[in-house]
Amino acid sequence: MIFSIIVPIYNVEKYLRCCVDSVLAENFADYEMILVDDGSPDGCGKICDEYTGKYPHIKVIHQENGGLSDARNAGIRAAKGDYLIFLDSDDYWADTNRSKNAGGGILFDLQQLADKKVDLILHPSSFNYRDIPKGADFSDNDFVRHFETLVEGRYYIANAWTKIVRREIIIKNNLFFPKGYIHEDFPYSLQLARFIKTFAFYDNPFYQYRVLGNSISHNVKYKNFSDVLTHLDRGVDFLVENKNSPIYGGLQKFVFDNIGYLRSILVRLYFSKNIILIYRKYFSFKEKCRKIFGAKTMHPIFIGKTAFIIGLPILRLLVPPMLYPAIKAVYQKFFSE
């Protein structure tokens, strides 16, 4: 079997059929789909059972709620395919580029790349699609050589669903998602890069990322900040430990890009009751990075302490507390990723 498509499921009854049906629309047989019902309180479990009753290549795992990482890990352990594909249950596939594959479909195209026995297949989504720069040539499949370019061009980003990975690499190197954390894709993708030697790029933004108002990325809370900070702090330690790696330049850019994401979370928590604690942790982490990488390198990445200290009291003085939720809602609508 070539592909195992892992779908973690929780409270997405409205979107689940669209997700599963988008894969079933593929004219391809050599794959399995693993639906992981992570203790969903709605009708998702029943929908999963309906699909497994109709399609022998669809399997379902019912488990107590353990979070996205735990659901993905359960799918990884149950998978039999040579390559693992992650598909979030509120997203779906849509082949926007059929002219390139002459009607063969997404999985047919991916099979042709998998036949090259590469470790990793990268693909964009509708959310982050960018044209490959003129002159860029990935035909040698050399991941080490091209990694820094892939990070700079945002072809290698944190999101797990942009990567189709050889299952053997995940199992052999124990590359499971950290349980109990959100934003778990960053440590997974950071660790994964060390073990990839060859890759292919599938230039078809078939993955349709659905932006929901109740998603983790939109409802920013203290845990978002705390978990991202934990991942990044460990990421900095990882850089120190791997300073002699042949892909160190790309690893550093990858970590620094995600430090920028931490900054966006901080801004969105400006009116949080935990802002003082957040402030202390943020600038403690900034000082750690400054000592390791130098003040000049880190200056463009972090928010300045002076701006933060001056800006917060002014905002609190000028803006009534009753308006904080409205300001946050406007920010999230227009400036959320």
- Give the model confidence (pLDDT) of 194-237 as tens digits: 999 999 999 888 999 987 755 444 457 899 999 999 999 999 99
263 and 298 Cβ atoms separated by less than 8 Å: no
DSSP state at residue 131: P
Encoded tokens for 108: 């047919």
Backbone angles phi, psi at 233, to 5 degrees: -60, -45
For 83, the 3-state DSSP assignment is: strand
More confidently predicted of 175 and 331 = 175
Residue that has been written with the tokens 């990884």 in this structure: 76
Q: Model-level pTM greater than 0.85?
A: yes
Whole-number pLDDT of residue 324: 53
Res 333 pLDDT > 70: no
Domain boundaries, the chain: 3-208, 222-335
CA 9 from chain centre, in angstroms, equals: 16
Q: CB-side exposure of 260: number of CA atoms within 13 Å?
A: 12
More confidently predicted of 181 and 104 = 181
Fold of the CATH domain 3-208? Spore Coat Polysaccharide Biosynthesis Protein SpsA; Chain A (3.90.550)
Res 336 pLDDT > 50: no
Residue that has been written with the tokens 């009607």 in this structure: 103
In tens, the pLDDT along 260-300 reads 888 888 877 877 888 889 889 999 999 999 999 998 888 77
CA 181 from chain centre, in angstroms, equals: 13
